[in-house]
Amino acid sequence: MFKVMALAVLAGSALLAGAAQAAPSVERGSYLVNTIAGCGNCHTPQGPDGPIADKALSGMLVEQNDAYTAIAPNITPAGDIRNWTDAQVIKAIREGIQPDGKLLGPPMPFEVYKGMSDTDVASIVMYLRTVPAVENDPGESHYNIPLPPAYGPPIEHVADVPEGVTVEYGAYLAGPLGHCIVCHSTFGPQGPMLDTALGAGGQPFPGPWGTSVAANITPTGIGHYSDEDLTKIITTGTRPDGSHLLPPMPIWAYANLKPDDVKAIILYLRSLPPKG
């Protein structure tokens, strides 16, 4: 029912097209979901001490305001995706389009998810098929604002970005995979202003913790930190002065990032145009 073979076909088609695609794998999907992508930050119900382990990825209320009530759905095999093909799940992740044609809405960061490679998005789907099924109905999202007709043209193929301590791979980790640049860009009426205020920060995130404000992660905001400082901030949530980052920064996920991935992210952040 889950058409796992479609994943192999997807990878094979990319190879025939001349792209040096890696093979999707559950291991790669597990790494992405539980580290840089931080899917549980929105899809796992939260308790007073953080994510509730035995309800992992079963959906929750993410944000409620005058514009919308955003519900992250259950993405375990007990959720609706059990009846979706792999291609349909991939389309929902990268294009925001459900099998019934309805558009998903914010805060899912389709601005960058459209850049997720074929291999990585297929790996994520493979992994989601293997997680424990958790019965939980978090409800449905409701939007009081008009959603766009689409978030862009249909996505046919996205090539892999070679892993390494490079600006290119750091941009991929901080963009399509981790959406760091979405939360950390200044928001305007239509959402994060990635063209004019990339990484400039300033967006407030209210919650049980109070209100946290996304930091400026361009050289203007992080230039006084060493690479070692930034590594500690990203992976432990602790600044050099001993203060701690607040949610929604998913430190629980970033704590398990590979050292080279952290280095690539820092290299990319150092390359951003200074803002603010």
What pLDDT score was predicted for residue 46? 86
Residue by residue, DSSP assigns the chain as: ---THHHHHHHHHHHHTT--PPPP-HHHHHHHHHTTS-THHHHS-EETTEE-GGGTTS-EEEEESSSEEEEE---STTSGGGGS-HHHHHHHHHH-B-TTSPBP-TTS-HHHHTT--HHHHHHHHHHHTTSPP--------EESSPPPS-SSSPP---PPPPPSSSHHHHHHIIIIIT-HHHHTSPEETTEE-TTTSTT----EEEETTEEEEPPP-SHHHHTTS-HHHHHHHHHH-B-TTS-B--TTS-HHHHTT--HHHHHHHHHHHHHSPP--
List the single range of 40-54, 120-134, 255-269 with lowest mean pLDDT: 40-54
Q: Is the pLDDT of residue 7 over 60?
A: no
- Residue 96 — pLDDT band, cuts 50, 70, 90? very high
Name the segment(s) of the chain with CATH classification 1.10.760.
5-143, 167-271
DSSP string covering 114-140:
TT--HHHHHHHHHHHTTSPP-------
Quote the pLDDT of residue 49.
72
pLDDT value for 166:
98
pTM value is 0.90
pLDDT in tens, 21-72: 789 999 999 999 999 999 999 999 988 777 899 999 999 999 998 999 999 9
Average pLDDT, the chain: 91
Residue 20 confidence (pLDDT) = 56
Task: Say whether pLDDT at 2 is over 50.
Answer: no
pLDDT digits (tens, 9 = 90+) for 192-251: 999 999 999 999 998 888 899 999 999 999 999 999 999 999 999 999 999 999 999 999
- Residue among 50, 117, 128, 122 nearest 90 (CA): 122
Domain 167-271 has CATH 2.40.10: no
Q: Which CATH entry fits the domain spanning 5-143: 1.20.1070, 3.30.70, 1.10.760, 1.10.3470?
A: 1.10.760
- pLDDT at residue 191, as a whole number: 86
pLDDT of residue 115 exceeding 80: yes
